[in-house]
Chains A and B, each alone.
Chain A
Amino acid sequence: MFKFHYRLERSAIGLVAFIILVASIGGFIEIAPLFTIDETVEKAEDMRVFTPLEVAGRNIYIREGCYACHSQMIRTLRDEVDRYGPYSLAVESQYDHPQLWGSKRTGPDLARLGNKYSDSWHTAHLYNPRDLVPQSKMPAYRWLLRDQLRTDDLGNQLAALRAVGVPYTDEQIANAARDAYGQANPDSAEAPGVAERYGEATNIRAFDGNQGPLTDMDALVAYLQMLGTLTDAAFTTETAEAE
């Protein structure tokens, strides 16, 4: 029974090759079919892509390490659905590269945070959480209001996302910096183009409370106010399956 193994152990390269082969069986059976099984990712016709400002906000979310304390994944458990809303679907993070589901909740889950609180609340809370929630242990992110947002590279960011499968159009990529400005300046000439290119459901507001030059705060609040609102799939799936 062990003869083959005794022989294999005498060939270093053969042993390594065989270890790789055996270890890959599990991955091959568990992971590979996910790419061909239809229901891995649900269909959502109304799913929209991130706007350039939201992409910039998402980069800040990653830069500041928000994912270390906040998850973006409502699990299929009664208490989570009761507290946060409909459980997360795979399609909702379809355009997240990489996904930011997280695995630890020092703070609450953020998957359905979009439009739960006002922009001014987010701005004040990020500036100093203790001003609004005295017992909060979240750090203060004061520089977000001070730092100007870099927008000249947003076209390249969208192009990079397109390379990994996010369906950005040439027009969206060409207008990235313009759309980022327009989304946080509702009275500007750039604003109507944002709704035109990204849909009427897009939030177009002065996120940090001031129109004019963009700050990091504009981008991060725009991103937070979008969470969970890219598609209604989670809400419609729940009612459709219940019937």
Chain B
Amino acid sequence: MALKERDEFSGQMTTGHEWNGIKELNTPVPKLLWAFLGTMGLFAIGWTVLMPSWPGVSGYFRGLLGSDQHQAVRQSLQEAELAKAGWTERLATGDLAALSQDEDIMAVVRQTGPALFGDNCAGCHGYDAGGNSGYPNIAHAPMMWGGDVDTVAETIRVGINAPHPETRYGQMLAFGRDQMLGSEEISALADYLVSLQGEKALTPEETAAAQTLFADNCAACHGEDAAGMVETGAPNLTDAFWTYGGDRSSIRHSIYNGRQGTMPSWEGRLSPTQIRLLALYVMDLRGATP
């Protein structure tokens, strides 16, 4: 190794190496950088004392501040509950019909409802509650299980054909597949239902035959006048709303294979307050979208 020497131009020492006549300065690390590194080191040591850090064999040092993420999230949830307590208490216990007339509560419902509905209900019913193929329009169509706010809250709580012990059971039989009706009878019924919408004219004989078939097979659930029954959850077949499609082939398909739509029960996943809020929100949507 060559001898270290002081560079005349900069006044710094060289590394002592020489590469083809080129020498390299050995400028010391700036003092400010040392100070910065030292401060950070001290901060790191202090932080390990304050926060959970050094592990042992069967446990770890929990830190002087007692920081705990589980505790922290629980506390922030509790604070959020307290901040909401002004309206959640009224919502949890008050009479829903009366609450739907309360402007203060409804302002909260209109603000909180879209997020809650979007997260949980919109997947099936759509963000505008207008329904999807297989999932009913709950913004406009008559509610199959009853359209008052308490019934809607109950439907959300227990679901339909869901694994909840109190769930609502609505099962349309597979009249064709299970050979209760023949193909021609199903066609006659489908034609009759299409004619109820005014899109097809039947002869009086055809209508009379189909009405007999309807009374024998369908009226027990859908009612004598086909207007649906909330007791059985059977939909109105005379209006313009069709969960599974109102054209002749869709109706034939429904009669042939039956329908057993499922709505999950939300008890347990949503709090009772959230369920009541959603019921108010849906009822408000129905009022707001004639």
Contact = CB atoms under 8 A, between A and B. Distances in A.
Chains A and B come from one and the same complex: yes
Interface of A: 29-30, 33-34, 36-39, 76-78, 81-83, 85, 87, 115-121, 124-125, 131-134, 238, 241-242
B73 A87 contact: yes
Interface stretch (B32-40, B57-65, B146-154, B221-229): B57-65
Given A36-B58, A77-B73, A131-B132, A121 B124 contact: yes
B74 A37 contact: no
Interface size class of B (residues with CB under 8 A): 20 to 34
B76 A78 contact: yes
B230 interface: no
B251 to A, nearest CB: 19
B55 A33 contact: yes
Nearest to B77: A78
Contacts of B72: 76
A34 B60 CA distance: 10
Nearest to A29: B55
Nearest to A121: B124
Contacts of A132: 123-124, 126, 132, 135
B264 interface: yes
Interface of B: 54-60, 69-74, 76-77, 80, 119-120, 122-124, 126, 132-135, 163, 261-264, 269
A65 B225 CA distance: 52
Contact of B264 (A34, A115, A238, A241): A115
Given A87-B73, A118-B124, A242-B74, 20 more contacts: A29-B54, A30-B55, A33-B55, A36-B57, A37-B55, A37-B57, A38-B59, A76-B73, A81-B77, A82-B80, A87-B70, A116-B120, A116-B264, A116-B269, A120-B134, A120-B262, A121-B135, A131-B132, A132-B124, A241-B70
B165 to A, nearest CB: 14
Contacts, number: 75
Nearest to B260: A120
Contacts of A29: 54-55
Nearest to B57: A36
27 contacts: A29-B55, A33-B57, A34-B55, A37-B55, A37-B58, A37-B59, A37-B60, A39-B59, A76-B69, A76-B73, A77-B73, A78-B76, A78-B80, A82-B77, A83-B119, A116-B120, A116-B264, A116-B269, A117-B123, A117-B124, A117-B264, A118-B261, A121-B123, A124-B133, A125-B123, A132-B124, A134-B126
Contacts of A133: 122-123
Closest 4 CB pairs of A and B: A33-B55, A118-B262, A76-B73, A78-B76
Contacts of B73: 76-78, 81, 87
A42 to B, nearest CB: 11
A152 B4 CA distance: 75
B59 to A, nearest CB: 6
A118 B76 contact: no
Contacts of B123: 117, 121, 125, 132-133
